[in-house]
A and B are shown apart, each in its own frame.
Chain A
């Protein structure tokens, strides 16, 4: 079945450094979503990318969708301690019965920030 791979698994940075997490799918995606989960919290939707080559920004966060719609990245400029958490990408895939779509999540990247 379709797989969504995310790297790195962990990233520790000094406050003020940049951070990037990468997401790769084994199949072409109609869209990709990004979520953030704070420690002890639940995943919260950040953004959805739909178009090939799309770039979206949210303050210090930049999201990209690859031209082939099989990969995506999230880049954080000048990290802050409030950025700590696990970042997940997720893409749609057909369920085993082939009749319905579901979201498949990457395993996430845990970001820790040293103040």
Chain B
């Protein structure tokens, strides 16, 4: 079974802090994704990556950056956290042709920025 592991289940940070959300998958998937989920807004794509060192902006990339130095790991970085970034963050992975393959999600990180 595919396992996508997010480093923290809950995280509380202060405004202005630099925040790292880590995600690791164990199935050698090429594609990795970061979504945020907010009530009434569904899942919105922040960034995704189709290969190591490759990244592409999703629908709401502002205020975020990502890093993919190794195939199995995809990090989401909040350069200077703000209260409007309080949300549930979901990492996902899929094999090549990701839009044609199921996404496997991690358990999520609930981030609170105070």
Report the separation of the CA atoms of residues A113 and B1 in the bound assembly, to the nearest whole angstrom: 30
Chain B 97-114 interface residues, beta-carbon cutoff 8 Å to A: 98-100, 102-108
A42-B107, A42-B108, A95-B58 are contacts. A105–B102 as well, Cβ < 8 Å?
no
Report the separation of the CA atoms of residues A42 and B88 in the bound assembly, to the nearest whole angstrom: 10
Are B58 and A88 touching (Cβ within 8 A)? no
Cβ-Cβ contact count across A and B, 8 Å cutoff: 68
Taking the complex as formed, is B56 at the interface, i.e. its CB lies under 8 A from any CB of chain A? yes
A42-B90, A44-B105, A95-B57 are contacts. A107–B100 as well, Cβ < 8 Å?
no
Are B99 and A101 touching (Cβ within 8 A)? yes
8 pairs of A and B residues whose beta carbons are closest in the complex: A92-B99, A107-B42, A101-B99, A45-B102, A42-B105, A105-B43, A43-B105, A105-B42
Tell me the A residues contacting B by CB distance below 8 Å: 1, 6, 9, 30-31, 33, 35, 41-45, 48, 88, 90, 92-93, 95-97, 99-108
Tell me the B residues contacting A by CB distance below 8 Å: 33, 35, 40-45, 48, 50, 56-59, 90, 98-100, 102-108
